[in-house]
Amino acid sequence: MKKIYKHYNHAVGLATVHLVWIPCRRRKVFAKNEALKLRCIEIFQSVANEKKWVIKALEVAPDHIHMLVEYDPHHSISQVVKAFKGRTSRYLRQEFPELLKLPSLWTHSYMFDTTGKVSTQIILEYINDPHHG
């Protein structure tokens, strides 16, 4: 599979991260409310479009979010998470008052895993190969 790198001012690359986070108290806020789930997806897309990020995969499960997002080198992973969690929390709590029962929509925590086209082992072997000398 051919790598398709993005070109930015002073940088060329591809940054993709797998993110997972949960609602406060691991409540199943999306279990029985399809409108809430669809609005959440809509807000995620809006944030991604505004920031020029690409959501490669998205799952809004009853009690957690899975997202694979391609982002630019001008943002850190924590900024990416903050943008998605912050906007969805604000808008969803305004539009769905039942969410105000929770102290906040999302916990402060999240899981991330950067993804790449080659394994860490292959990169280590390449860097440690004596051909560089």
Strand partners for 21: 65
- Is the pLDDT reported for residue 84 higher than 50? yes
pLDDT at 13: 79
Domain boundaries, the chain: 6-132
pLDDT at 10: 83
The pLDDT-based confidence of 45 (bands split at 50, 70, 90) is: very high
Domain range 6-132, its CATH number among 3.30.70.1290, 2.60.40.1840, 2.40.50.660, 2.40.50.140: 3.30.70.1290
- Is the pLDDT reported for residue 133 higher than 50? no
Q: Please write the tens of the pLDDT for every residue from 92-132.
A: 999 999 999 999 999 999 999 887 666 666 666 765 776 64
Q: Starting at the edge strand that comes first in sequence, how are the strands of the sheet with 54-61 ordered?
A: 54-61, 64-71, 15-21, 111-115
